[in-house]
Amino acid sequence: MADQNKSAKPRGGKLDLATIAGLVIALGGIIGGLLIEGGKIQDILQFTAALIVLGGTFGAVLVSTPLRTVTAGLGRLKSVVLDGAVPMDDLIEEIIGYATKARKNGLVSLEDEALLIKDPFLRKALNLAVDGTDLQEIRKMLELEMDLGEQQAEAEAKVFETAGGYAPTVGIIGAVMGLIQVMKNLANIDEVGHGIAVAFVATVYGVGLANLLLLPAASKIKARAQAETQRKELILESVSGIVEGLNPKLIRAKIEAYVQRLPAKHKKAQDQKSRSSPAGAVTEEA
């Protein structure tokens, strides 16, 4: 069982190559197009424009969002570039190991090992089961935890959605401020064209920041949260089967069927099913 506990190691995460590749492709396409058109990278490197867009956007987010939520949202950024999910195969084998031991020796035999489980949700679920908590109460407690986790993730994703809404507008403000400076120097016509070009860099920064980083980050955070909820649903159904004393082979079959259905499942429908089904109804399904 030590190997099973090892499989549930804390999810520090491995690098998400899709996120990195997406950023590289997006930036490469934009900069490549600029160079093909005869532009230079220096044309879009403007510290003042970056300061206006970043400072203005961050300030607007602080005004509209509680500081605690902003801080938590920034902490979520690591989940955009790191995929910390434990492989489903490892999780299934770990759960089946516990189910097999509980089937042979009873739930109490898991008491010591349940305390050492590194996955917090699985540890809590099994400890509640070992303590003899009623199955209905286990479901209520864990479903409440799942709901709160979803709400927290939604609030943290909203931080980046909000920033993505403000950034383009702040970029326009930066462009207008640049044009004001250009208008002061109309007497020097040679500088007017260059000044206008520089002024619009702020708009590029605002639109680019929103559409290449902030809004995609919000979507990735939501996707991670949905995957986490599905993982917890799998754990909840599995522990329910263990509490009811189901054969480990049946628990494995149910888990694998659940995993296969995940891509096609509508999340809201699954949540409603989990809340409306009696404690034994789900685990008695073939």
Specify the higher pLDDT residue, 283 or 249. Answer: 249
DSSP designation for 49: H
**3-state per-residue secondary structure call for 70-103:** HHHHHHCCHHHHEECCCCHHHHHHHHHHHHHHHH
**Neighbour count for residue 90 (Cβ, 10 Å):** 15
- pLDDT class of 145 with cuts at 50, 70, 90: very high
Average pLDDT over residues 209-218: 94
Listed by start position, the domains of the chain span 2-36+46-283
Mind listing the pLDDT tens digit for each residue in 123-143?
999 999 888 888 899 999 999
Lowest-confidence segment of 159-168, 204-213, 263-272 by average pLDDT: 263-272
Q: Residue 93: what pLDDT?
A: 87
Q: Residue 12 contacts by C-beta under 8 Å, 6 or more apart in sequence? A: 82, 84
DSSP designation for 65: S
Mind listing the pLDDT tens digit for each residue in 77-121?
888 888 777 677 788 888 898 889 888 888 888 888 888 888 889
Average pLDDT over residues 209-231: 91
Q: What is the biggest distance separating any 2 CA atoms in the chain, rounded to whole angstroms?
A: 91
Gap between the Cα atoms of 76 and 129, Å rounded:
31
